[in-house]
């Protein structure tokens, strides 16, 4: 007879908005099932007001940990007791764990982003990179590229002041890198893209079919570069399609999603993520959604 498991059910989840098509529950529940863990993972789509309300009551949340996605990765920080060193320097949190009644924030996007670069066989050392966007995921991307030894980093954002803020922050951390902040609207990008080796889209533009193409065709360099879009649904954004037609290499955010989720699972459970099973669950969930 099987011994009775009297341990408490552990509840995890993801907070974000919108969350209708999130595949995180599929990959995390698959990993819990793989080990037969008494744990379950839900999606919690909440308005910004409601999210802040819940975080003010974080002490009474009956969760063992949670993920944070768009647009709350920075919002969550003041409500946590502690950040691990990486989340602190990045300034964004996508994974939270309850540790002895204290809420600790982590950033696993850095790891996930680098896993995508590795899959694309791209080495960032001494490379010139243009990053579109200045939100929570851009922070992780800039930190990852800074640590990987990029030579030049240009941040292009719709709201220029936000790009400027990130550049000022990361310049202090990586003073050898040549930093620039430019406006995504207008032609400022034209000056920086021709010398880029990598273009990363961290904006939400591309999630919907009607979203604008952020980089006009004529701005792309003649040399072949890598275009990395963090979006994974659709699997090929307008930006990726355009880049591909021009002969550039492209990668979407699927590998990043898988590996940031795998790292979160390891933080919560202390077990090695069953990556092949999680990859299959992710793939199946994306096909269904």
The footprint of ligand NDP (CB under 6 A) covers 70-71, 73, 109, 112, 133-138, 157-159, 162, 184, 202-205, 207, 211, 214, 230-232, 253, 256-257, 260
Query: C-beta of 82: minimal distance to ligand NDP in Å?
Result: 21
Q: Which helix (H) or strand (E) holds 284?
A: helix 275-288
Nearer to ligand NDP by Cβ, of 47 and 60: the residue is 47
User: Is residue 73 annotated as a catalytic residue, yes or no?
Assistant: yes
The residue annotated as part of the active site, out of 73, 127, 238, 263, is: 73
Q: Is the distance from CB of 146 to CB of 173 less than 8 angstroms?
A: yes
β-pairing, 95-99 with 65-68? antiparallel
Q: CB-wise, 189 or 222, nearer to ligand NDP?
A: 189
Radius of gyration of the chain (CA): 19
Instruction: Tell me the closest approach of the beta carbon of residue 94 to ligand NDP, in angstroms.
Output: 7
Residue with the shortest CB distance to ligand NDP: 135
Nearer to ligand NDP, 65 or 116 (CB): 116
Q: How far is CA 29 from CA 13, 38, 113, 153, 170, in A?
A: 10, 10, 22, 37, 36
* Cβ nearer to ligand NDP, comparing 52 with 151: 52
Q: Which residue has the tokens 């802040």?
A: 52
Q: Which one, of 236, 180, 241, 235, lies nearest residue 215 by Cα?
A: 241
CA angle 103, 90, 137 (to 5 degrees): 95
99's tokens: 């540790």
Q: How far is the CB of 286 from ligand NDP (least distance, A)?
A: 11
The nearest distance, CB 211 to ligand NDP, in angstroms, is 6
Residues forming the active site: 73
């Amino acid at each position: 007879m099987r011994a009775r498991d009297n341990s408490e059910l552990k509840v995890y989840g993801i907070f974000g908005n919108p969350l209708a098509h999130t595949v995180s529950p599929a990959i995390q529940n698959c990993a819990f099932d793989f080990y037969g863990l008494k744990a379950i993972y839900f999606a919690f789509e909440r308005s910004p007001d409601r999210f802040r309300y819940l975080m003010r009551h974080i002490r009474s949340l009956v969760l063992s940990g949670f993920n944070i996605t768009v647009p709350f990765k920075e919002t969550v920080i003041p409500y946590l007791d502690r950040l691990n060193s990486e989340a602190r320097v990045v300034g964004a949190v996508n994974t939270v764990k309850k540790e002895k009644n204290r809420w600790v924030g982590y950033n696993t996007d850095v790891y996930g982003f680098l896993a995508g670069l590795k899959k694309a066989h791209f080495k960032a050392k001494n490379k010139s990179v243009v990053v579109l966007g200045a939100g929570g995921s851009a922070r992780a991307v800039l930190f990852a590229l800074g640590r990987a030894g990029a030579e030049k980093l240009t941040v292009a954002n719709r709201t220029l002041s936000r790009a400027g803020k990130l550049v000022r922050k990361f310049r202090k951390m990586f003073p050898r890198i040549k930093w620039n902040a430019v406006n995504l609207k207008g032609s400022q990008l034209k000056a920086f893209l021709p010398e880029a080796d990598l273009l990363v889209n961290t904006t939400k533009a591309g999630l919907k079919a009607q979203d604008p193409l952020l980089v006009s065709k004529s701005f792309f360099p003649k040399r072949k570069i890598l275009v990395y879009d963090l979006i994974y649904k659709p699997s090929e954004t307008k930006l990726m399609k355009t880049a591909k037609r021009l002969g550039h290499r492209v990668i979407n955010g699927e590998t990043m999603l898988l590996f940031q989720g795998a790292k979160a699972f390891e933080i919560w459970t202390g077990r090695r993520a069953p990556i092949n099973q999680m990859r299959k669950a992710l793939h199946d969930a994306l096909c269904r959604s």
